[in-house]
Amino acid sequence: MKKTKRLFIILLMLTLVLMSFSFAFATSEIDRYTDISGDKLLAESDAEALNEYLEKLSDASVFDITIHVMEEGLDDETLMYYADDYYDVAGYGYGERYDGCILVVDLEEGSWWISTCGFGETAITDFGIENLNSTLYSYFSEGDFLEGFMAFADRVAEFVAMADEGTPYDGPATGERPEPGETPFNAGAKAGSSVVIGALVGLLSSGRKKGKLTSVHNETRANNYTRPGSMNVTGGRDVFLYRNVTATAKPKNNNSGGGSTTHRSSSGRSHGGGGGHF
- Interaction site with another protein (CB under 8 A): 180, 185, 190-191, 193-195, 197-203, 205-206, 209-210, 212-227, 230-250
Report the distance separating Cα 31 and Cα 265, nearest Å: 22
When computed from its CA atoms, the radius of gyration of the chain, rounded to whole angstroms, is: 34
Cβ-based nearer residue to another protein, 143 or 180 = 180
State in angstroms the smallest separation of the CB of 155 from another protein: 22
Cβ-based nearer residue to another protein, 22 or 226 = 226
Amino acid residing at 170: D
State in angstroms the smallest separation of the CB of 175 from another protein: 16
Q: Which of 53, 55, 63 is nearest to 150 (CA)?
A: 53
Cβ-based nearer residue to another protein, 1 or 213 = 213
State in angstroms the smallest separation of the CB of 204 from another protein: 8
CB count in 10 Å sphere of residue 250: 6
State in angstroms the smallest separation of the CB of 207 from another protein: 9
Cβ–Cβ < 8 Å for 104, 83: yes
Sheet holding 64-70, edge to edge: 33-35, 64-70, 100-106, 111-117, 270-277, 262-264
Cβ-based nearer residue to another protein, 214 or 254 = 214
State in angstroms the smallest separation of the CB of 211 from another protein: 10
Cβ-based nearer residue to another protein, 3 or 237 = 237
Amino acid residing at 270: S
Cβ-based nearer residue to another protein, 45 or 220 = 220
Cβ–Cβ < 8 Å for 159, 62: no
Q: Is 113 helix (H, G, I), strand (E, B) or coil?
A: strand
State in angstroms the smallest separation of the CB of 221 from another protein: 5
Cβ-based nearer residue to another protein, 11 or 201 = 201
Q: Which of 90, 86, 87, 105 is nearest to 152 (CA)?
A: 105
State in angstroms the smallest separation of the CB of 212 from another protein: 6
Alpha helices in 113-186 (DSSP H): 119-123, 126-140, 145-164
Pseudo-torsion of CA 154, 159, 165, 166, nearest 10°? 180
Task: Tell me the sheet residues that pair with 104.
Answer: 68, 113
